[in-house]
């Protein structure tokens, strides 16, 4: 293998290793930091649930939200029907508890009245509609196909203070020990660890909209979000980089939100491409460069592996670098997997690494240049 090419490969993967090593340190920081105690008075809370064609899952989601331990007079749950065509709104109406007056039910249905192209004409517009309808001092968001524990709201709210008005929470996939779902679940653990770790480093990058909380006064940053961008990630970055206030990650397992992964490889690639679609649209240079650096390391290693299939002299050095990358990834994947009770996923480390080696370069290109759809609508 030519020395300049090997040197370049080592440098790219070494920079990747430094970034992930720092993120692993940041994750350790946020998990070891003492959690805040309960507030003197619990604030009013609005849980916003955007829903588009979620009739099959909305019942389970609402049951888990209704079961949350939070003062009834300070909680509202707003389901935003995002032009569903499968009866999602009807399911929400039918879930009105028998004998309970509508005014006593914490669940409120809000139907979007018009398309909102300024918000990307998809999920962020639904979230914005729910936030506009919300009355709570603290806004929590989750997805209609998610399940939350009964401790979720209190755990997130106690960390969401005026001084720290944005809190990102953990999300995990329910995998039922099936092969592809297990790989997705381990990858998600790594992503959660990376997002939490960058928060712990003081250099926030991304979070998962299935589990975030923010104070109402922080929502002004939403106005600066470019069209089609993930509002939660941009709000996270705006608070972190544009204000004097803090953002944080909630490492409490009692706040772990669960959802189902995609059931097919094509669905997985489409989902990953949607996530990658947001990276180059970040308004701040540093998180953009960090995400691009992750992608570049996978591209360099993928190209080297492809060349090694035809060039025997490349195989040993490329394998060595690949194993080094696996070791670095373990630094970030193992701690969150253990912390959130997902230790059994670690036996899928090798196939997950092979999946990422192929998938990350593809989804980065497709997410940047290819046409993308989400539930029948083109993403901008």
Mean pLDDT of 335-346: 95
Q: Tell me whether residue 380 is in a domain.
A: no
- What pLDDT is recorded for position 281? 77
- What pLDDT is recorded for position 116? 54
Contacts with 71 (C-beta within 8 Å, 6 or more apart), sequence order: 42
Q: Tell me whether residue 277 is in a domain.
A: no
Secondary structure (3-state) at 172: strand
Residue numbers of the domain that contains 145? 37-182+206-261
Distances in Å between the alpha carbon of 221 and those of 46, 242, 247?
18, 9, 13
> Is 189 in contact with 172 (CB distance < 8 Å)?
yes
Q: What is the pLDDT of residues 191-229, one digit of tens each?
A: 999 999 999 999 999 999 899 999 988 876 555 544 444
Task: Give the confidence band of 340 by pLDDT, cuts at 50, 70, 90.
Answer: very high
Q: Tell me whether residue 280 is in a domain.
A: no
The CATH number of residue 150's host domain is 3.90.550.10
Q: How many CB atoms lie within 10 A of CB 225?
A: 23
Measured CA to CA, the distance from residue 352 to residue 263 in angstroms comes to 16
Q: Tell me whether residue 43 is in a domain.
A: yes
What is the average pLDDT value for the chain, to the nearest integer? 89
Q: What is the pLDDT of residues 240-261, one digit of tens each?
A: 998 888 999 999 999 999 999 9
Measured CA to CA, the distance from residue 47 to residue 313 in angstroms comes to 57
- What pLDDT is recorded for position 220? 64
Task: Give the confidence band of 373 by pLDDT, cuts at 50, 70, 90.
Answer: confident
Percent of the chain topping pLDDT 70: 92
- What pLDDT is recorded for position 151? 97
Angle at 154 between CA 81 and CA 246, to 5 degrees: 90
Q: What is the pLDDT of residues 124-170, one digit of tens each?
A: 888 888 988 999 999 999 999 999 999 999 999 999 999 999 999 99
Percent of the chain topping pLDDT 90: 69
Number of domains forming the structure of the chain: 1
Q: Tell me whether residue 81 is in a domain.
A: yes
Task: Give the confidence band of 318 by pLDDT, cuts at 50, 70, 90.
Answer: very high
Q: What is the pLDDT of residues 5-53, one digit of tens each?
A: 999 999 999 999 999 999 999 999 999 988 888 999 999 999 999 999 9
Element (H, E) at 295: helix 285-310
Q: How many CB atoms lie within 10 A of CB 47?
A: 27
């Amino acid at each position: 293998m030519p020395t300049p090419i090997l040197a370049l490969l080592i440098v790219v993967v070494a920079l990747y290793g430094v970034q992930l090593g720092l993120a692993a340190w940041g994750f350790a920081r946020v998990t070891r930091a003492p959690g805040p105690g309960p507030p003197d008075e619990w604030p009013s809370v609005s849980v916003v649930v955007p829903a588009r064609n979620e009739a099959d899952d909305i019942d389970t989601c609402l049951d888990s939200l209704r079961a949350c331990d939070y003062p009834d007079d300070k909680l509202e749950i707003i389901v935003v029907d995002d032009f569903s065509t499968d009866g999602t709104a009807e399911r929400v109406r039918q879930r009105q508890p028998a004998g309970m007056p509508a005014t006593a039910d914490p669940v409120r249905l809000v139907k979007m009245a018009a398309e909102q192209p300024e918000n990307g004409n998809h999920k962020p517009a639904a979230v914005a509609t729910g936030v506009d309808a919300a009355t709570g001092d603290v806004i929590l968001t989750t997805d209609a196909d998610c399940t939350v524990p009964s401790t979720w709201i209190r755990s997130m709210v106690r960390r969401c203070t005026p001084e720290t008005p944005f809190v990102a929470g953990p999300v995990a996939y329910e995998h039922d020990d099936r092969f592809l779902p297990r790989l997705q679940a381990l990858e998600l653990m790594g992503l959660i660890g990376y997002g939490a770790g960058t928060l712990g480093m003081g250099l926030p990058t991304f979070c998962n909209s299935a589990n975030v909380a923010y104070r109402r006064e922080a929502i002004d940053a939403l106005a600066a979000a470019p069209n089609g961008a993930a509002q939660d990630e941009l709000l996270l970055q705006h608070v972190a980089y544009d204000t004097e206030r803090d953002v944080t990650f909630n490492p409490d397992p009692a706040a772990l939100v669960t959802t189902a992964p995609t059931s097919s490889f094509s669905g997985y690639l489409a989902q990953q491409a949607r996530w990658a679609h947001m990276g180059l649209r970040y308004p701040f240079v540093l998180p953009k460069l960090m995400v691009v650096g992750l992608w570049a390391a996978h591209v360099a290693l993928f190209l080297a592996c492809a060349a090694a299939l035809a060039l025997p002299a490349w195989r040993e050095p490329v394998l060595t670098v690949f194993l080094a990358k696996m070791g670095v990834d373990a630094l970030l994947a193992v701690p969150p997997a253990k912390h959130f009770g997902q230790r059994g996923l670690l036996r899928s480390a090798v196939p997950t690494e092979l999946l990422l080696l192929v998938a990350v370069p593809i989804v980065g290109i497709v997410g940047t240049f290819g046409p993308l759809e989400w539930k029948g609508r083109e993403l901008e």
